[in-house]
Amino acid sequence: MNQSPFRGYIFVAFAAVLWASSGTAGKALFSSGISPFDLVQIRVTVSCLCLGAILAMFRPDLLRIRPRDIGYFYLLGGVVMGLVQITYFYSISKIQVAAAILLQYTSPVLVAIFSMCFWHEKASLRKVAALVLAVGGCYLVVGGYNLALLQMNTEGVAAALISAFCFAVYTLLGEYGMHRYAPWTVLFYSFFCAAISWNCFFPPFQAFLDERTPFQWGMIFYVAIAGTLMPFALYLAGVNLIRSTRASITATLEPILAAGLAFVLLGEVLEPFQLAGGTLVIASVLMIQTGAEHDENSPATIRGKSGKEINAVSGIS
């Protein structure tokens, strides 16, 4: 039996576990008094420094970019990636971890809608059905059937939906970059520019100077390294072994795992209708991604500089 596909699925599944645990760890930090703004400043800064050091030691060629692309990378990382990070963690601080992640997982559907509206892609029955499932699923996930629950979560719901929109924009911009650069180059400069923004528009490195408990520092660095760099590395390794569409489908384990971890560690419980809505959201993502197998021009599946398929819609966390 060929072990490469099996190892690819294992890599991607483990990445999903780490991404899911990152959201749960973030919620625990917020409960202990850390603000989402502090966590994001530390996360993007540590991720940038660690990834930059690794690339400088082993692949310095991946750090070279064309001067004319500096503006592009700042838009991608300093603006869009920065917004993805803060809206994602802010939503987690306000609503259930699984609900926030599920709402952000609608970004592939938003990419498909953009493609149909502006890139003249065919509005297939599969895409229309995925849109209907995503909208219905979101309605249930946010507790639209319960007005009291919906009112309590308004800020978190809005942040999660904004995060989904921003990640869809990041996906589309990332497609352009990965046609010109290796995925690790795009990822590093996304974090690098995000770190510049978070340390310019907020007091530089302020989050590092505040007093923290050993538990808080441990969880913070877990989010920055085990919840960020490691899963991206595992995901890209998995994509090298299996098709990107299959990798992205496997990555939909993330919200399922996040719900389980949040229940066990934080006592968060999704209501039955919310679980049903989550199922619809995941089904909509699966329909979009499996449809990408038959559509070489879909933004869901692109080819990076190396020529290997890269999925720009996964690794949301």
User: pTM of the full predicted structure?
Assistant: 0.81
| Confidence (pLDDT) at 102 | 83
Over residues 234-255, the pLDDT tens digits come to 887 787 777 666 666 677 778 8
| Strand pairing class (302-303; 309-310) | antiparallel
38 within 8 A of 229, measured Cβ to Cβ? no
How far is it, in rounded angstroms, from Cα 130 to Cα 285? Answer: 7
Looking at residue 106, its pLDDT comes to 78
With tokens 């703004």, the residue in question is 37
Residues 270-313 have pLDDT tens digits of 788 888 888 888 887 777 767 655 554 454 444 333 333 444 44
Decide: residue 208, CB within 10 A, 0-12 exposed, 13-18 middle, 19+ buried: middle
Contact 222, 71 (CB under 8 A): no
The tens digit of pLDDT for each residue in 152-162 reads: 578 888 898 89
89-109 burial, b if ≥16 CB within 10 A, otherwise e? bbbbbbbbbbbbbbbbbbbbb
Q: Are 79 and 189 in contact (CB under 8 A)?
A: no
Task: Name beta bridge partners: 302.
Answer: 310
Six-digit token pair at 257? 């795992």
* pLDDT at position 275: 83
CA–CA separation, 160 vs 141, rounded Å? 11
pLDDT band at 68 (very low <50, low <70, confident <90, very high): very high
The answer to whether the beta carbons of residues 27 and 93 sit under 8 Å apart is yes
CA distance 227 to 312: 18
Q: Please give the C-alpha separations between residue 251 and each of 21, 127, 129, 257, 286, in angstroms, as whole numbers.
A: 13, 20, 21, 10, 10
Structure tokens belonging to residue 216: 């808080």
> Token digits for 88?
């994602």
Name the residue with tokens 């974090």.
191
